[in-house]
């Protein structure tokens, strides 16, 4: 224990074995040991006693659109990682699209890494992209350390990142399965979308009708079939349609290698409450009805849905026009995901340990981040210190992401992040940030 530089003490530390009073000994940026609460502090080590505030493992957000370089007026590594740190997140994985270039070749990945490195307040890793013309780039991207590959089955919203048709999906998935990689999929079926009624204007009901549950259900059905045929590992991004839960549960029972995420907006906001023209609530797939949300929570509780990640997808305020058909689709929530989910979990009688599993342990496991996602010896000393019973009202001016558009403005949420720690260093404390010390992560499995 001679190298221990820090002991973090709390009456409530969330460990894989449950919540208990403990002292966490940190050496060299790692958790050396989780000791009894009143353990002696080794000579030379600093004691930080956070009292009754809860210490949880730093959150892992595997679905973030940082858009840097290329659309940095939408977001950037400096602002996104700052917002993440303020929200208790210590690791994020950047999506391969909306930046220019998109992360579809190893050369583009190098560009992204160079841009991110000096700006990262937290640890950052990258997803690659699978687009129609880059099958030959997938293996080099995998070897260069991306955590997996994202593809769309319907138009992505940006021209430089086209969707795959079923044949192209099969070809890319076969290639990825060949080297043991992971395909993560935006699952909405283009034919079902084309058949849905398309009406522009400020009415949310019209937008919701244009992105029916059937589009998600059909795309997930075909994805399961492809994964089953190729014995490939796939992950469904941002599940919104609760109708797809039985399909996914059945595939899991059959041994299909499929995991699923949902997002704070699907689990805490409802279609019924979206005001006309309020396109800060627009995303694809869309926020659906309250009954759908209840079913998603059931899927989360029974394990059909594995994790909850933000899908933080910001843009400049001018792109959020009041017309739901033409406004940019994407919800900014990096800083608010933890309190939003905790508030709803609490209301539904679920403990904070569940939130930690959904937002830290499971996403770390999805990405193969074996040093993240739990408070136990050997893992990185990444922590969020949370006052779970304290509330705050969301003030857009206090958000750290670049464009302070949010669907959560004015909401009162439980859970104040007091401080966030990255490899044993406090990177934010009562809202004040240090200089960036985040590292760039590569897939290790």
Q: How far is the CB of 419 from Zn ion (least distance, A)?
A: 28
338 near 387, Cβ under 8 Å?
no
Contacts of Zn ion in 204-223 (CB under 5 A): none
248 near 223, Cβ under 8 Å?
no
Residue 188 or residue 311: which is nearer to Zn ion going by CB?
311
Backbone torsions φ then ψ of 111, nearest 5 degrees: -60, -45
Q: How far is the CB of 311 from Zn ion (least distance, A)?
A: 4
Residue 187 or residue 352: which is nearer to Zn ion going by CB?
187
User: Pseudo-torsion of CA 83, 84, 86, 90, nearest 10°?
Assistant: -150
Looking at the DSSP assignment, which residues form a beta bridge with residue 186? 152
Q: Does 94 bind Zn ion (CB under 5 A)?
A: no
Q: How far is the CB of 211 from Zn ion (least distance, A)?
A: 14
In the sheet that 59-64 helps form, which strands lie side by side, from edge to edge?
59-64, 89-94, 123-126
Contacts of Zn ion in 97-136 (CB under 5 A): none
Residue 60 or residue 422: which is nearer to Zn ion going by CB?
60
Q: What is the contact mask toward Zn ion in residues 294 to 323, using x (rule: CB under 5 A)?
A: -----------------x------------
- Which residue from 146, 157, 241 is spatially nearest to 192, judged by alpha carbons? 241
Residue 133 has a CB neighbour count (10 Å cut-off) of 9
268 near 411, Cβ under 8 Å?
no
Residue 406 or residue 419: which is nearer to Zn ion going by CB?
406
Residue 26 or residue 59: which is nearer to Zn ion going by CB?
59
Q: How far is the CB of 148 from Zn ion (least distance, A)?
A: 14
Q: How far is the CB of 283 from Zn ion (least distance, A)?
A: 8
Residue 75 or residue 311: which is nearer to Zn ion going by CB?
311
CA 247-206-212 angle, to 5 degrees, is 10
d(CA 141, CA 143) in angstroms, rounded, equals: 5
Residue 15 or residue 332: which is nearer to Zn ion going by CB?
332
Contacts with Zn ion by CB under 5 A: the residue count is 1
Q: How far is the CB of 80 from Zn ion (least distance, A)?
A: 13
Q: How far is the CB of 63 from Zn ion (least distance, A)?
A: 6
In the sheet that 149-152 helps form, which strands lie side by side, from edge to edge?
128-129, 149-152, 182-186, 233-236, 258-262, 307-308
d(CA 301, CA 258) in angstroms, rounded, equals: 17
383 near 415, Cβ under 8 Å?
no
Q: How far is the CB of 94 from Zn ion (least distance, A)?
A: 11
Q: Which residue has the tokens 């059959």?
A: 254
Residue 68 or residue 311: which is nearer to Zn ion going by CB?
311
Backbone torsions φ then ψ of 416, nearest 5 degrees: -105, 125
Residue count (the chain): 445
User: Could you please report the per-residue DSSP string of 186-217?
Assistant: E---HHHHHHS----SS-HHHHHHHS-HHHHH
Q: How far is the CB of 378 from Zn ion (least distance, A)?
A: 32
Residue 53 or residue 311: which is nearer to Zn ion going by CB?
311
User: Could you please report the per-residue DSSP string of 60-86?
Assistant: EEEEE---TTT-TTT--HHHHHHHHHH
Q: What is the contact mask toward Zn ion in residues 261 to 300, using x (rule: CB under 5 A)?
A: ----------------------------------------
Residue 123 or residue 311: which is nearer to Zn ion going by CB?
311
d(CA 232, CA 321) in angstroms, rounded, equals: 40
Q: How far is the CB of 340 from Zn ion (least distance, A)?
A: 17
Binding site for Zn ion (CB under 5 A): 311
């Amino acid at each position: 224990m001679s190298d221990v530089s820090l002991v973090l003490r709390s009456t409530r530390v969330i460990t894989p074995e449950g919540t208990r009073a403990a002292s966490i000994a940190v050496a060299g940026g790692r958790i050396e040991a989780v000791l009894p609460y009143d353990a002696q502090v080794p000579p030379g080590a600093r004691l930080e006693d956070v009292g009754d505030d809860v210490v949880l493992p730093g959150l892992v957000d595997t679905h973030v659109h940082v858009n840097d370089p290329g659309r940095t007026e939408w977001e950037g590594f400096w602002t996104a990682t700052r917002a993440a740190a303020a929200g208790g997140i210590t690791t994020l994985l950047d999506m391969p699209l909306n930046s220019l270039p998109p992360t579809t070749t190893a050369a583009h990945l190098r560009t992204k890494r160079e841009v991110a490195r000096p700006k990262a307040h937290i640890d950052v890793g990258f997803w690659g992209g699978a687009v129609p013309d880059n099958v030959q780039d997938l293996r080099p991207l995998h070897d260069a350390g991306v955590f997996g590959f994202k593809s769309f089955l319907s138009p992505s919203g940006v021209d430089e990142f086209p969707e795959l048709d079923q044949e192209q999906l099969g070809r890319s998935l076969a290639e990825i399965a060949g080297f043991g990689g992971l395909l993560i999929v935006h699952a909405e079926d283009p034919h079902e979308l084309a058949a849905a009624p398309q009406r522009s204007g400020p009415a949310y009901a019209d937008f919701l009708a244009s992105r029916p549950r059937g589009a998600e259900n059909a795309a997930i059905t075909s994805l399961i079939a492809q994964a089953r045929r190729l014995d490939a590992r796939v992950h469904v991004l941002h599940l919104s349609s609760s109708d797809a839960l039985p399909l996914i549960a059945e595939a899991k029972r059959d041994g299909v290698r499929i995991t699923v995420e949902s997002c704070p907006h699907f689990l805490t906001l409802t279609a019924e409450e979206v005001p006309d023209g309020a396109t800060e609530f627009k995303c694809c797939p869309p926020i659906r009805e309250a009954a759908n949300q209840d079913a998603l929570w059931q899927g989360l509780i029974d394990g059909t849905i594995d994790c909850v990640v933000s899908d933080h997808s910001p843009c400049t305020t001018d792109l959020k026009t009041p017309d739901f058909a033409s406004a940019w689709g994407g919800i900014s929530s990096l800083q608010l995901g933890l309190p939003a989910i905790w508030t709803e979990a609490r209301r539904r009688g679920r403990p904070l340990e569940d939130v930690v599993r959904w937002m830290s342990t499971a996403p770390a496991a999805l990405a193969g981040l074996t040093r993240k996602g739990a408070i136990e010896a050997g893992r990185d000393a990444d922590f969020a210190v949370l006052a779970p019973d304290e509330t705050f009202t969301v003030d857009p001016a206090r958000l750290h992401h670049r464009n302070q558009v949010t669907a959560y403005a004015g909401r009162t949420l439980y859970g104040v992040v007091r401080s966030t720690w990255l490899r044993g260093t406090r990177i934010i404390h009562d809202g004040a940030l240090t200089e960036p010390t985040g590292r760039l992560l590569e897939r290790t499995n």
